[in-house]
Structure 1
Amino acid sequence: MARRDQIADAGVRLIARGGVHALTHLAVDAEASLPRGSTSYYARTRRDLIALVTVRLSEGSQADLDGVSVPVVLTRAEAVRVAVGILNHMARREDAQAARFALMFELRGDDELRGALTAHAPVRTPLTAEAERLLRAIGIADPAAHAPDLVGLIDALLMYRTARAAPIDDARVLGAYLDGLPASAP
């Protein structure tokens, strides 16, 4: 594993456990079992350190789509199961998701870094394409217009789950959303 990845992974763990304020150069050195000052060599400033973590989170998010494939034709019940499966697949990296959500709030004033975790994340385009395929497979009118909303809903459910905010029936929420979308004309 490359040293930058080792530092970024340590940063993800620190943020997941203690929030963004826990991310310091010295804490990363300790978490990664590196000699004191090692992190500063790779990330001179706090923003540089956050950028390393952000890039690592973005790379991991892209891997979340590995193996995701949406059939060409689905019933709505099957589509709900596929959407919940995507949510479950993304939720398996709980520390990464916790760090990502914490950073999203921390970086509200930094469009560049926040964008790499949200609307401009490299994973957003393929995830939206999968959502569009899912909506097309169940016959939704204008699936391209609704796909970003479905991605946003899955992300919101993921955040709720990661934060352990309250128990939510993901399938019921996703099913209600899909049931409310207009079907394409026969």
Structure 2
Amino acid sequence: MGSEETSKPRVDRVLDAALNILAEQGLRAVSHARIDKRALLPLGSTSNYFRTRQALLEGLIAHLARLEREDFANVPPQEARIDAEAAFTQMLELQSGIFRNRTLARYALFIDLASTPDLMKPLLENRKGFELWTTATLAALGASDPLSCTTFLMATLDGALLHRISVDPEMAIEPVVHRALAACLDNDLK
């Protein structure tokens, strides 16, 4: 662990370690002791912040949602097709590149905690925010049915992202984004 990591507040070190364990080993591997070991903290440190597994999961989900909002929020809807294509492509590149562990963790949480939407609320709110941004972008680009196009585009991009992080890490993202936007804007999904 580098000096930048050890200079972070302990609670952030705990949550970053939990996020990485989740991404690498799955939800069942997320435990107080494993987190303490990964974060290079004395045994019992994680339980000082999160007494129960439920509290730990809530903290982990809130942490992931905050990181994603910081990285992807406050971008205005795109009004030019080339800019929209670049924005979607860059986002998928980041999510499958430097933010790969966050993406893996988010997918693991969505799958493992699908039956507990209240627990997933922060991540679902982030997704809703991205849906609204996508709809606004598609409307600005002239889609005749931006809501249907949003559903199609997000499903397509989710599939491309999952494929890239699980099957083909070298898959080119830009052609997928280009074709999906063309389907939304040129063919308009009729």
Any idea what the Cα deviations from partners look like across 1:16-66, whole Å, max 9, x if unmatched?
222222211100111111111111222222222122111111111112314
- Specify every segment of 5 or more residues in structure 2 that has no aligned partner in the other structure, as ranges: 1-7
Q: Which residue of 1 aligns with 2:116?
A: 110
Among 140, 147, 166, the alignment partner of 2:143 is: 140
Aligned to 2:156: 153
| Alignment map for 1:17-166 (pairs within 5 Å) | 17-66=24-73, 68-74=75-81, 79-91=84-96, 92-117=98-123, 120-121=124-125, 123-164=126-167
Q: Percent identity?
A: 25
The separation in 1 between residues aligned to 2:78 and 2:110, in whole angstroms, is 32
In structure 1, stretches of 5+ residues that fail to align are none
Counterpart residue identity of residue 147, structure 1: T
AA at the equivalent of 2:179: A
Q: TM-score, normalised by structure 1?
A: 0.80
Question: TM-score w.r.t. structure 2 length?
Answer: 0.78
Distance in 1, matches of 2:144 and 2:88, equals 18
SS at match of 1:181: helix
Equivalent pairs counted in the alignment come to: 179
CA RMSD of aligned residues (A): 2.6
User: Where is the helix percentage greater, Structure 1 or Structure 2?
Assistant: 2
**Given the superposition, is the C-alpha separation of residues 127 and 84 from structure 1 closer, same or farther in structure 2, using an over 3 Å criterion?**
same
Amino acid aligned to 1:93:
F
Deviation at 1:87, TM superposition (A): 1.7
Equivalent residue letter for 2:46: T
Q: Which deviations, in whole Å up to 9, do the C-alpha atoms of 1:119-161 show, x marking residues without a partner?
A: x23x224322321233123311132443244234323322222
